[in-house]
Amino acid sequence: MATPRVSLVIPTQRRPHGLAVAARSTFRQTGVDVSDLELVVVDNDQAPSAQALTQDLAAEAPFPVVYVHEPEPGVANARNTALSRARGAFIAFLDDDEEAPEGWLAALLAAQAKYAADVVFGPVRGRAPGEIVRHRPYLERFFSREGPDDAGVIDHHYGCGDSLIRRAAMPDPDRPFAAFRNYIGGEDDYLFAQMREAGAVFAWEPAAWVWEDPVPSRLTLRYTIPRAFAYGQGPSAACAAASPPDRLGVAGWMAQGLVQAGLFGALAGFKWLVRAPDFAFTLDRAARGLGKTLWWGPFKIQFYGLRAGA
């Protein structure tokens, strides 16, 4: 069997509909040679619940489909296990709640070649079902990823979903994702920060966009505001985890967060009272500020790595 140039990787956990949509969108890619591709589906459920579906999808696929079961919960575990089986020189990540248009992969590969990039990121467009009316603009924005209007080299990184990574640029090509991030997320941020310190080139390609269809249970402020708080913790936690720890950076982020939480918290309270339509946007900013300030142990929120029924 020829070695593929690109391994498409979809981590999944008990989302059969989303997995089917994401996988089938990779089958429809244009402008790429299918002999250069493989799809690796990594199932992070305790039971191999996605195995039968993956076998059915493999029968439709124009390229090899590999099923991998990783019963140990955690996003980093899932991604690392997928990479242990992936054979491509490039890894293209797609989440199991995303759907890629036909030219998505070709756009990522073209940007990688043009900019000699180690990682290429693309936009994510949040898409809520029609019955979601309350806070709809905020919710679609929350699940979106925006960036520059023009393609080019960038000095920062985004998340793993909708990205193309040159495998040889990873610090550990087989297990690059930090296990200590399994339960709090941010394993991709930690990896990309390491790569940036090593001189990796990051690029942005607006044409390489994907849809994101969040599960309905996430389309509420009850989910997004704690998540915004957790996102806010990122900069402070990253400074604390640096070697050696960046204590000045931690103090700076905490001070900034305190001001942000106070100002936007008060403004959010006023907007709630007057039923302002942009109330959720303001509350989100307050939550992110509070996260910068309250970032350590007892305030950590676990979004990942939960076993079935947990």
Taking residues 249-262, report their average pLDDT: 98
Residue 270 predicted with pLDDT over 80: yes
Residue 308 predicted with pLDDT over 50: no
Taking residues 35-62, report their average pLDDT: 97
Distance from CA of residue 280 to its chain's centroid? Answer: 22
More confident of the two residues 163 and 298: 163
Tell me the three state secondary structure of residue 43: strand
Taking residues 44-61, report their average pLDDT: 97
Instruction: Give residue 184's pLDDT.
Output: 66
More confident of the two residues 228 and 174: 228
The contacts of residue 180 (CB under 8 Å, 6+ apart) are none
Compute the distance between CA of residue 56 and CA of residue 68 in angstroms, rounded to an integer.
15
Give backbone dihedrals phi and psi of 31, rounded to 5 degrees, phi first.
75, 10
Question: Which residue's entry shows tokens 């899932």?
Answer: 78
Question: Which residue's entry shows tokens 């191999």?
Answer: 48
Taking residues 182-196, report their average pLDDT: 83
Tell me the three state secondary structure of residue 121: strand
**Of all residues in the chain, what percent carry a pLDDT higher than 90?**
84
- State the CB neighbour count (10 A cutoff) for residue 140: 17
Taking residues 164-190, report their average pLDDT: 85
Name 131's bridge partners: none
What is the tens place of the pLDDT at every residue in 88-102? 999 999 999 999 999
Angle at 208 between CA 202 and CA 214, to 5 degrees: 105
- CA neighbor of 169 nearest in space, from 157, 180, 179, 161: 157
Mean pLDDT over the full length of the chain: 93
Residue 151 predicted with pLDDT over 50: yes
Query: Is-contact 22 42, C-beta < 8 A?
Result: no
Give backbone dihedrals phi and psi of 161, rounded to 5 degrees, phi first.
-60, 130
Query: Is-contact 34 106, C-beta < 8 A?
Result: no
What is the tens place of the pLDDT at every residue in 100-128? 999 999 999 999 999 999 999 999 999 99
Residue 178 predicted with pLDDT over 90: no
